[in-house]
Structure 1
Amino acid sequence: MTGQLSYKNSKVITIGIVSELTGLTIRQIRYYEKRKLIFPERSEQGNRKYSFNDVEQLINIANKREEGVQTFEIRQDMLKEKRKKSGSQLRDEMLRGQINAQFGVNKDR
């Protein structure tokens, strides 16, 4: 599935539908966007568009907020997770490069 956009990542859902799916108010969703916890795209008309992954993220945020976790803490956890993933991806690429160099494999072939 490399190079293809998964349906879960496609930004096609309007804020009203997201509100219905998550139980959050539109105001709450906009607040989480302002706090940089969610990143919708904008249509040509300026409407926010969300993905299924965004919906899942909003549900996770709402659950954490119910547990008393502050938005700042949620953001910090998201940044740590992102760094962890990018570090893991970098290691994978480096290992792949070492293996390719060792065995004379060329990606362009």
Structure 2
Amino acid sequence: MAANESYMEKKVISIGTVCELTGLSERRIRYYEERKLIFPDRSKSGIRKYSFLDVEKLVDIANKREEGIQTSEIRKEFIKEKKYDEKTLREKVIRGQINAYFNKRS
């Protein structure tokens, strides 16, 4: 496990367990993968592995679909959220660098 990877991010859960946790069928989960909504890792033998964050995301996707939201709209929303998260992270890094620079000069 990477040093900054939490147990929530570690992809160790099989699709069967994900089905049990979410109530979704394997076919539905694969469909969400085809639609580029979820990105499981693959073992050397091709077995899909999911994280707890993936499980939460699948439940969120299923809830949105029940509300009638199309998968293309869900994907756009996820992309927008990811860009926002990346922008926020960049801003925090820059603020940290600025603070470190000025603290060092004091």
Counterpart amino acid of residue 74 in structure 2: I
Q: In structure 2, how many angstroms separate the alpha carbons of the residues matched to 1:26 and 1:103?
A: 53
SS of residue matched to 1:11: coil
Task: Give, in angstroms, the shift of residue 5 of structure 1.
Answer: 1.9
Which residue of structure 2 aligns with residue 66 of structure 1? 66
Q: In structure 2, how many angstroms separate the alpha carbons of the residues matched to 1:40 and 1:73?
A: 20
Counterpart amino acid of residue 35 in structure 2: R
Q: In structure 1, how many angstroms separate the alpha carbons of the residues matched to 2:17 and 2:97?
A: 44
Task: Give, in angstroms, the shift of residue 104 of structure 1.
Answer: 1.5
**TM-score, normalised with respect to structure 2:** 0.93
| Identical pairs, percent | 51
Which residue of structure 2 aligns with residue 75 of structure 1? 75
Task: Give, in angstroms, the shift of residue 8 of structure 1.
Answer: 0.9
SS of residue matched to 1:104: helix
User: Are 1:15 and 2:15 matched, yes or no?
Assistant: yes
Superposed CA deviations along residues 49-108 of structure 1, whole A, max 9, x for unmatched, are 001110000000000000000000000000010011111111111111111111228xxx
Task: Give the alignment's Cα RMSD to 1 decimal.
Answer: 1.4
Q: In structure 1, how many angstroms separate the alpha carbons of the residues matched to 2:53 and 2:19?
A: 14
Which residue of structure 2 aligns with residue 31 of structure 1? 31
Q: In structure 2, how many angstroms separate the alpha carbons of the residues matched to 1:65 and 1:52?
A: 20
Superposed CA deviations along residues 15-69 of structure 1, whole A, max 9, x for unmatched, are 1111111111101000100111000000111100001110000000000000000
SS of residue matched to 1:49: strand
User: What stretches of structure 1 of length at least 5 have no aligned partner?
Assistant: none
Q: Where does structure 1 differ by over 6 angstroms across 4 or more consecutive aligned residues?
A: none
